[in-house]
Amino acid sequence: MYRKTLAGALAFAGVLSAQWLNYPSHDIPRTGDGKPNLTAPAPRAANGKPDLSGIWKQPNGVKYTINLAADLKPDEVQLQPWAAELYSRRQNTLSKDDPVGHCLLPGVPQMAAVPYPWKVIQTPGEVVILFEAFKTFRQIFTDGRSIPADANPTWMGYSIGRWEGDTLVVETGGFNDNTWIDTGGHPHSDALHVTERYHRRDFGHMDLQITVNDPKAYNKSWTASYPVELMADTELLDYVCEENNKDLPHLVGK
């Protein structure tokens, strides 16, 4: 099921950038021929920290959407028995029960890996991320607050951030257990805690490192990483997800 779903996502993603091709962004450095200079220095906010604002997208298609651990060795992701059995069942049924197929939110960390752009808006006390996919958002509070001790479980969790040098470190907890780590079916429990590290290397390139810590589902935490790239001269477009009422009953897996 996830192969079919993501193939459709890729087809749409390949069209969207051309729709805004002639709409230049006013705050992007350019080379002598007018093209975006994506290797220019990263912009800085008033506090001297990198400004992560912009429209970003991970450039590897659905690789990390399907399997966040795609670059890791098998022994680096140690599932507990119940989680291993659930992951195997999801794999053997070709992810036919993937919540995304029912138009439910992918959650964190999958949200940043889908092949659709996301827009960062950085303010002094908060970083907001607007996602084209599923037309949803995240609020990352950088004003010193903590994750609520007894948070009402949510699909996207509660996110707080702090700066370590030029890297924004984001801690997210308070999840429900309805989402999947990736479309391939890596599970998690309500004890999931995700740590993300955003490092903008230059104007057009950022590294995203993700650590999954869930003592109920994994024997140890594990870390994946992938690059994301700035999408210049474009904007987010409308996104509508319609329930797959006709297709879902026929997606029976292997």
3-state secondary structure 152-189: CCECCCEEEEEEECCEEEEEEECECCCCCCCCCCCCCC
Does the pLDDT of residue 8 top 90, yes or no?
no
Band the pLDDT of 66: cuts 50, 70, 90.
very high
Residues 211-238: what's their mean pLDDT? 96
Q: Structure pTM?
A: 0.90
Band the pLDDT of 58: cuts 50, 70, 90.
very high
State in Å, rounded, how far the first CA of the chain is from the last one. 10
* pLDDT at position 254: 65
Band the pLDDT of 5: cuts 50, 70, 90.
very low
Q: Report the alpha-carbon distance of residue 163 to residue 14 in Å, rounded.
A: 34
Query: Taking a C-beta distance cutoff of 8 angstroms, is the pair 44, 27 a contact?
Result: no
Band the pLDDT of 4: cuts 50, 70, 90.
very low
Please name every residue paired with 130 in a beta bridge, in sequence order, or none if there are none.
119, 137
Q: C-alpha angle 145/186/135, rounded to 5°?
A: 55
